[in-house]
C-alpha cells in the first residue's frame, strides 16, 4: 500500500478567486499530488485547500503553495473574521494510509525548515509537531494574530521554531503541524431551544470537562427552526462517531428532545464510517480489507 498524507493548508485570501487559483495551480503542478477540494470564504477572507499524495510530494506542494501565497497575498492589506497570522496561515499534515503520525511530524518539521530558511517566513510548529506544550493548541499559536505578533515575536516565548525572529513583510508567519483527520459533525435536535444544544455541547466538549479531543457549540439553524450541536471531532479513534451520537441522544432525551438527524460536513475518513457500521451491527472480526472498493484501491496503489 502506498503511503498517503493529506494536507489542508489555509490561505488568507477568500475574496479574489484568481489569487487562490494561482496558489492551487502551484499544488497541481507537483506530480503525484491529487487536489481533492478547495473553497473560498469571503467573510473570513480565507480559503481552504485539500490535497493528498505521498509524503515527500505533499511537502513539496505545500512549500510551493506557500511561496506563491507569499508573492500574491499582502497581510498588511488583509482583513477578515477568522484569526490568522500569515498569508499561508496554517499547514496541517494528516496521516491517511500507510503512515504513522511520527512521519507527519517529521514532514511538518522539514516543511517548516524550508519555509523558514528558503522563504524567510517564521514558522511555529503545532499540535503533534509542537516543540513546546503550549504550542500544541493552534489558537495559542495564533494569539494576537498577525498584527500582535509583529512585536510579540521578539519575546523568547514567541520565538519561531524556524525562520527569522521577525514577520515576513507580506506573508507574516505560518503554523505548520501534524494532526489526526478532523471530522466536522453536526447533530440536529428536535427543538428550537438553543439552550438545550448549548448544554449538550458543554457536556461533551473538552473545554468544559468532556472529551479532550471534542470541540462543540450549540447553534441555531434559523431556516429549520432547530437547535444544533455543532462538533469538531479532532480524533475519531479516541472518541468515535457512535459514542458522540449516542451521548448526545442520551443528553437530549433528558430534556424530552429527539435527535432528528446528523450531518458530516466535508470529507470523512472511511475508517470512521466502517467503525460506525461495525459498532451498531456488533461486527466480530471485521477487516477493512473486506470492503470491495478498499481491495481495489490497494490493488491500484
Which of 44, 78, 82, 168 is catalytic? The answer is: 82
Residues in touch with its own copies (CB under 8 A): 4, 6, 34, 36, 52, 96-97, 181, 188, 241-242, 245, 259-264, 266-270, 273-274, 276-277, 279-286, 290-297, 299-301
Q: Which is nearer to its own copies, 71 or 271 (CB)?
A: 271
In angstroms, rounded to a whole number, what is the distance separating the alpha carbons of residues 29 and 124? 26
Any catalytic annotation for residue 78? no
Q: Which is nearer to its own copies, 1 or 25 (CB)?
A: 1
Cα–chain center distance at 131:
19
Other Cβ atoms less than 10 A from the Cβ of 148: the count is 13
The beta strands (E) that lie in 60-182 are given as 88-97, 123-127, 174-178
Beta partners for residue 233, in sequence order: 183, 214
The continuous run of DSSP H or E covering 201 comes out as helix 194-204
Q: How far is the CB of 135 from its own copies (least distance, A)?
A: 27
Other Cβ atoms less than 10 A from the Cβ of 220: the count is 15
Q: How far is the CB of 269 from its own copies (least distance, A)?
A: 5
Cα–chain center distance at 90:
9
In angstroms, rounded to a whole number, what is the distance separating the alpha carbons of residues 288 and 107? 27
Q: How far is the CB of 241 from its own copies (least distance, A)?
A: 6
The beta strands (E) that lie in 79-207 are given as 88-97, 123-127, 174-178, 183-189
Q: Which is nearer to its own copies, 119 or 226 (CB)?
A: 226
Q: How far is the CB of 238 from its own copies (least distance, A)?
A: 18
Q: How far is the CB of 54 from its own copies (least distance, A)?
A: 12
Cα–chain center distance at 11:
13
Residues noted as catalytic? 82
Amino acid at each position: 500500500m502506498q503511503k498517503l498524507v493529506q494536507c489542508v493548508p489555509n490561505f488568507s485570501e477568500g475574496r479574489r478567486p484568481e489569487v487562490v487559483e494561482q496558489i492551487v495551480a502551484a499544488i497541481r503542478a507537483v506530480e503525484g499530488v491529487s487536489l481533492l477540494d478547495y473553497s473560498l470564504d469571503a467573510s473570513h477572507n480565507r480559503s481552504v485547500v485539500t490535497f493528498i499524495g505521498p509524503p515527500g510530494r505533499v511537502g513539496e506542494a505545500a512549500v510551493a503553495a506557500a511561496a506563491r501565497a507569499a508573492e500574491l497575498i499582502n497581510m498588511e492589506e488583509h482583513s477578515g473574521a477568522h484569526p490568522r497570522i500569515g498569508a499561508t496561515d496554517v499547514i496541517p499534515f494528516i496521516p491517511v494510509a500507510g503512515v504513522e503520525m511520527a512521519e507527519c511530524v517529521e514532514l511538518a518539521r522539514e516543511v517548516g525548515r524550508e519555509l523558514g530558511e528558503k522563504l524567510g517566513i517564521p514558522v511555529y510548529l503545532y499540535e503533534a509537531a509542537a516543540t513546546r506544550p503550549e504550542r500544541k493548541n493552534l489558537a495559542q499559536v495564533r494569539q494576537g494574530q498577525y498584527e500582535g505578533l509583529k512585536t510579540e515575536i521578539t519575546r523568547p516565548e514567541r520565538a519561531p521554531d524556524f525562520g527569522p525572529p521577525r514577520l515576513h513583510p507580506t506573508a507574516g508567519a505560518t503554523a505548520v503541524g501534524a494532526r489526526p483527520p478532523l471530522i466536522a459533525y453536526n447533530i440536529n435536535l428536535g427543538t428550537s431551544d438553543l439552550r438545550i444544544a448549548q448544554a449538550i455541547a458543554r457536556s461533551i466538549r473538552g473545554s468544559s470537562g468532556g472529551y479532550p479531543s471534542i470541540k462543540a457549540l450549540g447553534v441555531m439553524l434559523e431556516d429549520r427552526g432547530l437547535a444544533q450541536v455543532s462538533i469538531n471531532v479532532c480524533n475519531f479513534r479516541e472518541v468515535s462517531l457512535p459514542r458522540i451520537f449516542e451521548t448526545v441522544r442520551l443528553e437530549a432525551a433528558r430534556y424530552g428532545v429527539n435527535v432528528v438527524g446528523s450531518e458530516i460536513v466535508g470529507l470523512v475518513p472511511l475508517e470512521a464510517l466502517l467503525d460506525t457500521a461495525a459498532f451498531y451491527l456488533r461486527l466480530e472480526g471485521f477487516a477493512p480489507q473486506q470492503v470491495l472498493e478498499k481491495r481495489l484501491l490497494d490493488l491500484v496503489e
